[in-house]
Copies of this chain bind each other. A is one copy, B any other.
Amino acid sequence: MERKTLKDIAKDLNLSISTVSKSLSDSYEISDATKKLVQDYAKKHNYVPNKVARNLKTGKTNTIGVIVFNISNTFISQVLNGIHIASHEQKYDIIIMQSRDDIEQERNAIEVLRMRGIDGLLISPVAHNSNVELLRDLQQAGIPVVLFDRVQHPLQTHKVGTDNQAAAYEATKHLLDQGRKHILHITAKNIGITEERLNGFKKCLMDHNLPFDPKLYLECDYGKHNEIENSIKNHIQSMREKHIPIDAILGATDDITTLSLGVLATLGIACPEEIAVIGFSNIHIPNSLNPALSTVVQPTVEMGKIGVEKLLQLIHAKYPVEEFENIKLKSHIIARKST
């Protein structure tokens, strides 16, 4: 059962290719009789239009590229879900690439996508100004780019992130309200968003007349889980040995926050009695954690959907867009047992 083309149908029906084409696109210039004839015949032989050819003709691919650091990260996979839903709704396909938090791989991903042909790009960049020129090239070539999640990046375009500073501020305040005084803030190196979170943390301390103590601050390399786990463990152990007081942890990312719980359990430190934990996390099983985790939840699916929406706006824009939006979604805190 080979694939039928317009040409085949035309021959079978003794019609011209263009008549067939027009019939299938329900053109007003074709008589109802012929339309019906063609459409029925096409359905019967389950004709499928060749999108590749169509794309060649129209110059559009109906595909948007997506670059993230890691597909299987909890947070990212939820955003991808949102991207997926929204783009599918608009009849756009998506091609996902991973940068693995490596500038070179990000560069490669951008090049591959460009080569392959996409109508637009949705990216959560590796670092503050990773591959700026390349992305600008893309824009110049008429392929719009929208940034999401990690929006601390100089590229001029729409950006969809969360209000990280406010969220961190709120989480810190939550801990302080519970009477915690020595909060260890654990964050990741070289990711723009964590800087904002740090700022929110500092600001909240300041507003409560508390000093920011560098000893109560840890930056992890953001890589494998057991590396993160180890640096957290080492840090906490060393604090204990030096008798530096600590009664709470504020985690800046999903992995950091959830892994912290494991570290405390392993070290036999009671949570929340000795050390409370709260942090950014969109984990789907908060109640199965030890203990049920208090989280700063980000609107991941919404972020993905809005990203697609903004990108499509740019793709469909008739004139070059000059004014860009910097959208900051609201996170919210859910207090469970860990605080």
Contact = CB atoms under 8 A, between A and B. Distances in A.
Interface of A: 1-3, 46, 48-53, 55-56, 61, 70-72, 74, 77-78, 80-81, 84, 88, 93-98, 112, 114-117, 137, 140-142, 225, 229, 255, 258-262, 265-266, 284-292
Contacts of A287: 229, 262, 265-266
Contact of A265 (B55, B137, B292): B292
Contact of A288 (B112, B115, B117, B290): B290
Instruction: Determine how many copies of this chain the complex contains.
Output: 2
Listed residue (A48, A52, A137, A258) with the most chain B CB atoms within 10 angstroms of its CB: A52
A156 to B, nearest CB: 16
A140 to B, nearest CB: 4
A93 B93 contact: no
Give the top 5 A-B pairs by smallest Cβ distance, nearest first.
A290-B290, A262-B287, A262-B288, A72-B77, A261-B288
Contacts of A94: 95-96
Given A260-B288, A290-B291, 10 more contacts: A1-B141, A2-B141, A50-B56, A71-B81, A84-B96, A255-B284, A258-B288, A261-B285, A261-B288, A289-B289
Contacts of A284: 72, 225, 255
Contact of A95 (B80, B81, B93, B98): B93
Given A1-B137, A53-B56, A84-B98, A48 B290 contact: no
A262 B229 CA distance: 23
Contact of A48 (B3, B74, B115): B115
